[in-house]
C-alpha cells in the first residue's frame, strides 16, 4: 500500500519544500561526473601472505591522507579466496577495527580471517611479477602493489571481468576507504551488457543504461517513479558479453547493506558507499543460468512456493467488510474466472493494528465460517502484517513487545514513528528475543484466524514522520481515515554524522536526508548496531523472522510476500513490485522489474495487475491481465481511491481474463516444475530471452517479451490501440500455443508482426521441448488433478531431432521441495524423431506419490514432423502394438507457416495427436509412433 497519499496536499507541500531546500543549499546533481574530484592517491600494498585455508591475506596502507568525506582509514586488511571453482571473494576492511557487515547468522557464509595485531612480511618495494597472480580453476586474481589495484580475469578466454586500476584512457579515482565513504571503480568494455543493480523502475528496459541513476537504499517510494531507488537493495549485476560470437556471462556482488550510489558510464562503473566494507563476490558463469546458480548457492536458494500460490490472487485496499470479499469470491465463480486466493489489506484489522480483527466488519465467527467454506474448496486467504506495532496500553501485542524489550531504541527508549495505526514502535528483528516474540504473535493470530500466508508491507521501513517524535497533546493522532500525514510532534535529527553523513547518496531521487520518512539513522538495534548500517536489511530480517514463525507453526510450507527485499530475501519470501499506476508505461516497466528479480534470486515476483491506482482504462486492463497472467506471482490489486477493478467488473476484461488465465491454469504443472528448478538451482521462472539465446545479440536489450522457463515465450501488446504486436523470434522453430498448427521458422532471428485482437495474447513454444500441461479449471486444486497432455516440439520438418522436458509433482504442504520423502514424484520426458518415426519415453523417480494421486497422461501431441498430414501411423507401447480396437486414436494435421516465417514454405510438416492414452504419470513408459508404409 502507498504511504504517501497522492491526494494529500500537505505531503505534496512538504516534498516541494524539501526540493527547494536542496536547491538553495546547492545539493549536487546525481548526474554530475562521479570523479569531478579525485579523492586521494589510493593505497599501497605493503604485505601479503598465503593463509592456511588457501587464500591470500594482505595489508594496504593509505598513500596520502585527506579529509574529504572524513579521514582515511590508514591500514586495511585484504583477503582473497577462491571459495569454489566458480566463485572468487575479495574482502577489504579496516585492519585494526571491526566494521559493520551483514550479519553472518542472517546470511550464512564463510568468515574472513580474524583481524591480526601484527602484520606479516613487509614489502617496501613493488612486488615481483611472479607474485601478482592468484589463480583458481576459472578465475584469476591479479593485483598491483602501488597504487593498489586488482583485476579479475577469466582463465578460459582471458577476458578481464573487473579491473579497479585507473589508466589514462580510462581515468577514475583510486581506492578510497573512510569510515563513511568508500569508493572503488572498474573498467568495462563498451560492448558489455549489464543487468541488475536494483530495485528501480526503468524506462530504458532491463539493460542498464549509461548515466541513469542507480542508488541502492530501501525507501517507500512508489514504483511509478522512474530511475529512483525503490523498496529493495540488490547490489549485484550480471555482465553479458559476446566476443567473436562466443557469449559469456558473469556476475559481481558487492555484499554491503549501506546506502550507495553506483555510477555506470558505459566504459566504467563506480561504487560510492557510505559505510561497511568492500566484500566482492565474482561468479564466473559462463551462461546466465550458471550465474544465478552460483549466485543463489551463496545467498540462499529461492523458497519453495506452494502450488496454490501459482493460481490467481485477488486483493484490494478497501475490502471493508467480510460480506464484500464473500461477494468477490462468488462473482469470480459466476464469471468463470479462475481464483485461488483472496486477500485483505488492513481492512480486516481493529484500528489497523497488527494481529487483530475488526469485530464489526470482520466478526470472527463469520470469518471462520467463510474460511472453512473456501478452504474446503481449496481456496486460500492471505492478510497483511506491517512491522510497526501501535502504541496502545490495552493492546496485547504492544504490551508483550514492551515486556520483552523488542523494539529499536533511540536515546535508550523505543523509537517512535507513525504509520497506519498511528504512533508506533518498530520491532528489532536483529534481536533474537524479537524473533521469538514475533513468532509467538503470529502463532496467537493464527489461532484466532487460520490464514494461509502473510503479506509483510511497509518494511523499508516506512514512516510517515521524520526525526525524533512524540505523541501530541493538543490534537487527535492519527487523523481519521486512511491518512498518511504525520501528526506526531517531531523534530529533525541531524546532530550526528549518522543522520547527516558527509557524502549524500541520491536517496529519494533528490539526495534527501537518509532518515527522511523512515527510522532515524542514529537509532540503535540489538548489540549497538546502528540503523545507519542496518537500514536496508530491515525487510530482509522481517522476512526471515516471519518465515521462521510460519514454518514452525504447523510444519507447512510458508507463503510470504514482502515489499522490501535485500540480497538473500528470495530464500524466505516472494515479492511484488509495489505501488504502480494504471498506465501503459507502468505495464511496460513491470516486465523489466520482474526479469530483474529473477536475476536477484527472487523468482516468485509480480506487479499489481491493472495498476494500484488510478483507474486503468478498460483496454489497458485487458492488456494487463494478458501480461499478468504470466507473471510468476499473478495478483490483481488496487487502492480504495480507484474504482473497483476485479476482473469480472467489465465483460471485455473478463473475457481476456478467461483466455489468459485459462492458459495459465493449463501450464500450472510447468510453472510449478520451474518453481522446483528455481529452488534447486536458482533458475528464474520468468527470464529474459538472452537466458536461452545468449549468442543472439539482438535480444540482449529486449524488455517487451519474456520467457517462462527456457522455451515458452510471451509477446504481449503494450501500447494503446494496437491489435498487432511486432515480436522478436530468435533462431529456431516456434509454435503458437493458441493454435499448434501455426508455425514460425526463424533461421537467423526475425521480427514478426503477430495479430493480437483485444482478447488475445501471443504465446509461443520453442523447438526441442516437451511441455506437460493439464486441462485447467477455476481452482489450482481441481486443475492439478486433470489428465495430462505432453506437447512435443521438433524443428519444423525434422527428419531427425530430440526433445526433452520434466515434471515435478508433490504434496505442496511439505516444507521442503525434495525427492525421497514419499510425498513427491519427478519425471524426465524424452523424445526422438528419426526417419519420420517418433519415440517418446519417461524416466520416473519416486513414482508412488503420482500413482497415489491417479494422475495419467491422456494425450501426446507431436509437432514439426516431416511430411503431410495424410501419413498413417502405428503405435507401440512398451514394445507391444496397441490393438486396433482400443480407444487410442491418431490424428494428423498439416502445419501452416506465418507469412513472415523464414522457413521453406514449400516443405510440408505436420502435427500428430495421439488421444485416448492412459499412461500413469508415476510409471515409466516407452511409446513408439511409427510411420506406416
**Complete edge-to-edge strand list for the sheet that includes strand 712-715:** 686-687, 706-708, 712-715, 762-766, 732-736, 742-746, 896-897
Cα–Cα distances in angstroms (integers) from residue 250 to residues 152, 153, 193, 200, 298, in the given order = 11, 11, 11, 22, 15
What is the C-alpha separation between 867 and 907, in angstroms, rounded?
8
Active site residue 326: no
Q: Which of 896, 902, 894, 913 is nearest to 743 (CA)?
A: 896
Residue with cell 549466485: 295
SS3 711: coil
Q: Please give the distance of CA 111 from its chain centroid, rounded to a whole number.
A: 27
Active site residue 460: yes
Cα–Cα distances in angstroms (integers) from residue 861 to residues 448, 857, 876, 916, in the given order = 49, 11, 16, 12
What is the C-alpha separation between 206 and 689, in angstroms, rounded?
11
Q: What are the beta bridge partners of residue 803?
A: 831
Q: What are the beta bridge partners of residue 882?
A: none
What is the C-alpha separation between 247 and 97, in angstroms, rounded?
43
- Residue pair 406/428 in contact (Cβ under 8 Å)? The answer is yes
From the candidates 72, 460, 533, 608, which is the catalytic residue?
Answer: 460
> For residue 133, how many C-alpha atoms fall within 13 Å in the half-sphere facing its CB?
11
Cα–Cα distances in angstroms (integers) from residue 67 to residues 70, 180, 181, 784, 846, in the given order = 5, 11, 11, 65, 65
Cα–Cα distances in angstroms (integers) from residue 163 to residues 138, 140, 270, 420, 473, in the given order = 17, 12, 11, 48, 59
What is the C-alpha separation between 718 and 626, in angstroms, rounded?
10
Q: CB neighbours of 100 closer than 8 A, spacing ≥ 6?
A: 257, 258, 275, 276, 277, 529, 530, 533, 534
What is the C-alpha separation between 743 and 910, in angstroms, rounded?
10
From the candidates 354, 452, 457, 810, which is the catalytic residue?
Answer: 457
3-state helix, strand and coil shares in percent for the chain, rounded to the nearest 5: 20, 30, 50
- Omega of the bond prior to 147 within 30 degrees of 0, cis? yes
664 membership: H or E segment, kind and range: helix 651-666
SS3 616: coil
From the candidates 345, 579, 608, 677, which is the catalytic residue?
Answer: 579
Q: Which three cell numbers stand for residue 782?
A: 481441481
* Beta-carbon count within 10 A of 34 CB: 21
Q: Render the burial of 95-104: b for 16+ CB within 10 Å, e for the rest.
A: beeeebbbbe
Q: Render the burial of 340-374: b for 16+ CB within 10 Å, e for the rest.
A: bbbbbbbbbbbebbbbbbbeebbeeeebeebbeeb
What is the C-alpha separation between 292 and 298, in angstroms, rounded?
10
Active site residue 810: no
Q: What are the beta bridge partners of residue 636?
A: 314, 609
680 membership: H or E segment, kind and range: helix 668-681
Q: Which three cell numbers stand for residue 30?
A: 546525481
Q: Which of 777, 668, 806 is nearest to 308 (CA)?
A: 668
Residue with cell 538472452: 690
* Beta-carbon count within 10 A of 851 CB: 15
What is the C-alpha separation between 213 and 759, in angstroms, rounded?
37
Residue with cell 602501488: 146
Q: Render the burial of 760-780: b for 16+ CB within 10 Å, e for the rest.
A: bbbbbbbbbbbbbbbebbbbb
Active site residues: 457, 460, 579
Amino acid at each position: 500500500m502507498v504511504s504517501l497519499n497522492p491526494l494529500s496536499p500537505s505531503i505534496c507541500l512538504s516534498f516541494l519544500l524539501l526540493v527547494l531546500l536542496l536547491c538553495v543549499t546547492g545539493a549536487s546533481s546525481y548526474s554530475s561526473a562521479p570523479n569531478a574530484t579525485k579523492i586521494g592517491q589510493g593505497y599501497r600494498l605493503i604485505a601479503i601472505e598465503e593463509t592456511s585455508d588457501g587464500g591470500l591475506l594482505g595489508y594496504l596502507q593509505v598513500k596520502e591522507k585527506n579529509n574529504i568525506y572524513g579521514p582515511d582509514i590508514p591500514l586495511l586488511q585484504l583477503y582473497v579466496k577462491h571459495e569454489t571453482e566458480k566463485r572468487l571473494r575479495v574482502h577489504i576492511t579496516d585492519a585494526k577495527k571491526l566494521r559493520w557487515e551483514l550479519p553472518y547468522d542472517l546470511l550464512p557464509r564463510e568468515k574472513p580471517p580474524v583481524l591480526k595485531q601484527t602484520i606479516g612480511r613487509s614489502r617496501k618495494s613493488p612486488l615481483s611479477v611472479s607474485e601478482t597472480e592468484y589463480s583458481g580453476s576459472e578465475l584469476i586474481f591479479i593485483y598491483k602493489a602501488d597504487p593498489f589495484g586488482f583485476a579479475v580475469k577469466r582463465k578460459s578466454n582471458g577476458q578481464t571481468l573487473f579491473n579497479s586500476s585507473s589508466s589514462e584512457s580510462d581515468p577514475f579515482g583510486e581506492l578510497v576507504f573512510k569510515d563513511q565513504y568508500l569508493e572503488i571503480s572498474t573498467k568495462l568494455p563498451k560492448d558489455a551488457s549489464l543487468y541488475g543493480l536494483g530495485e528501480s523502475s526503468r524506462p530504458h528496459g532491463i539493460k542498464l543504461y549509461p548515466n541513469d541513476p542507480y542508488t541502492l537504499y530501501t525507501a517507500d517510494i512508489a514504483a511509478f517513479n522512474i530511475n529512483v531507488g525503490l523498496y529493495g537493495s540488490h547490489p549485484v549485476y550480471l555482465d553479458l558479453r559476446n566476443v567473436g560470437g562466443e557469449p559469456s556471462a558473469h556476475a559481481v556482488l558487492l555484499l554491503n547493506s549501506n546506502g550507495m550510489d553506483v555510477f555506470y558510464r558505459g566504459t566504467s562503473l563506480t561504487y560510492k558507499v557510505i559505510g561497511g566494507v568492500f566484500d566482492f563476490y565474482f561468479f564466473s558463469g559462463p551462461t546466465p543460468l550458471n550465474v544465478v546458480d552460483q549466485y543463489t548457492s551463496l545467498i540462499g536458494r529461492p523458497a519453495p512456493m506452494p502450488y496454490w500460490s501459482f493460481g490467481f490472487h485477488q486483493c484490494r485496499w478497501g475490502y471493508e467488510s467480510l460480506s464484500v470479499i464473500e461477494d468477490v469470491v462468488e462473482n469470480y465463480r459466476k464469471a468463470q474466472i479462475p481464483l485461488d486466493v483472496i486477500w485483505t489489506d488492513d481492512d480486516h484489522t481493529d484500528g489497523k493494528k497488527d494481529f487483530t480483527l475488526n469485530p464489526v466488519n470482520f466478526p470472527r465467527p463469520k470469518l471462520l465460517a467463510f474460511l472453512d467454506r473456501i478452504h474446503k474448496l481449496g481456496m486460500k486467504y492471505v492478510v497483511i502484517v506491517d512491522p510497526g506495532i501501535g502504541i496502545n496500553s490495552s493492546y496485547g501485542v504492544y504490551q508483550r513487545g514492551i515486556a520483552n524489550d523488542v523494539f529499536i531504541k533511540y536515546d535508550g527508549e523505543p523509537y517512535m514513528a507513525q504509520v497506519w495505526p498511528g504512533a508506533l514502535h518498530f520491532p528489532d528483528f536483529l534481536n533474537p528475543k524479537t524473533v521469538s516474540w514475533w513468532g509467538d504473535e503470529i502463532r496467537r493470530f493464527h489461532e484466532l484466524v487460520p490464514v494461509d500466508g502473510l503479506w509483510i508491507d511497509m518494511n523499508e521501513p516506512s514512516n510517515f514522520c521524520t526525526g525524533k517524535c512524540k505523541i501530541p497533546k493538543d490534537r487527535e493522532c492519527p487523523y481519521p481515515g486512511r491518512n498518511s500525514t504525520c501528526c506526531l510532534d517531531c523534530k529533525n535529527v541531524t546532530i550526528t554524522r549518522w543522520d547527516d553523513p558527509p557524502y549524500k547518496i541520491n536517496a529519494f531521487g533528490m539526495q534527501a536526508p537518509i532518515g527522511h520518512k523512515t527510522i532515524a539513522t542514529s537509532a540503535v538495534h540489538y548489540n549497538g548496531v546502528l540503523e545507519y548500517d542496518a537500514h536496508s536489511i530491515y525487510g530482509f530480517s522481517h522476512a526471515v523472522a516471519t518465515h521462521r514463525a510460519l514454518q514452525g507453526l504447523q510444519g507447512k510450507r510458508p507463503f510470504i510476500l514482502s515489499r522490501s527485499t535485500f540480497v538473500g530475501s528470495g530464500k524466505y519470501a516472494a515479492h511484488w513490485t509495489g505501488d504502480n499506476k494504471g498506465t501503459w508505461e507502468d505495464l511496460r516497466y513491470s516486465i523489466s522489474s520482474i526479469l530483474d528479480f529473477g536475476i536477484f534470486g527472487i523468482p516468485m515476483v509480480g506487479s499489481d495487475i491493472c495498476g494500484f491506482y488510478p483507474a486503468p482504462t478498460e483496454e489497458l486492463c485487458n492488456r494487463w491481465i494478458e501480461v499478468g497472467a504470466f507473471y510468476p506471482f499473478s495478483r490483481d490489486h488496487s487502492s480504495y481511491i480507484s474504482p473497483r477493478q476485479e476482473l469480472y467488473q467489465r465483460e471485455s476484461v473478463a473475457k481476456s481474463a478467461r483466455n489468459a488465465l485459462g492458459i495459465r491454469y493449463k501450464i500450472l504443472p510447468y510453472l510449478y516444475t520451474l518453481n522446483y528448478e528455481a529452488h534447486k538451482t536458482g533458475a528464474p521462472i520468468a527470464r529474459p530471452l538472452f537466458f536461452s539465446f545468449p549468442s543472439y545479440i539482438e535480444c540482449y536489450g529486449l524488455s517487451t517479451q519474456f520467457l517462462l522457463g527456457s522455451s515458452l515465450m510471451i509477446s504481449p501488446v503494450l501500447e494503446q490501440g494496437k491489435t498487432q504486436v511486432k515480436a522478436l523470434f530468435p533462431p529456431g522453430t516456434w509454435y503458437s500455443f493458441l493454435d499448434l498448427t501455426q508455425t514460425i521458422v526463424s533461421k537467423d532471428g526475425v521480427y514478426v508482426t503477430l495479430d493480437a485482437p483485444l482478447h488475445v495474447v501471443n504465446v509461443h513454444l520453442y523447438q526441442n521441448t516437451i511441455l506437460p500441461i493439464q486441462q485447467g479449471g477455476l481452482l489450482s486444486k481441481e486443475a492439478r488433478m486433470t489428465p495430462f497432455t505432453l506437447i512435443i516440439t521438433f524443428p519444423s520438418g525434422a527428419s531427425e531431432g530430440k526433445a526433452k522436458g520434466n515434471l515435478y509433482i508433490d504434496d505442496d504442504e511439505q516444507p521442503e521441495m525434495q525427492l525421497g520423502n514419499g510425498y513427491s514424484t519427478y519425471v524426465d520426458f524424452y523424445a526422438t524423431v528419426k526417419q519420420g518415426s517418433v519415440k517418446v519415453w519417461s524416466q520416473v523417480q519416486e513414482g508412488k506419490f503420482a500413482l497415489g494421486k491417479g494422475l495419467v497422461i491422456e494425450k501426446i501431441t507431436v509437432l514439426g514432423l516431416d511430411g503431410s498430414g495424410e501419413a498413417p501411423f502405428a503405435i507401440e507401447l512398451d514394445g507391444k502394438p496397441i490393438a486396433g480396437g482400443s480407444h487410442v486414436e491418431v490424428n494428423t494435421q498439416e502445419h501452416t507457416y506465418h507469412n513472415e516465417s523464414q522457413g521453406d514454405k514449400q516443405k510440408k510438416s505436420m502435427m500428430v495427436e495421439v488421444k485416448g492414452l492412459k499412461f500413469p504419470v508415476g510409471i515409466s513408459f516407452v511409446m513408439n509412433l511409427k510411420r506406416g508404409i
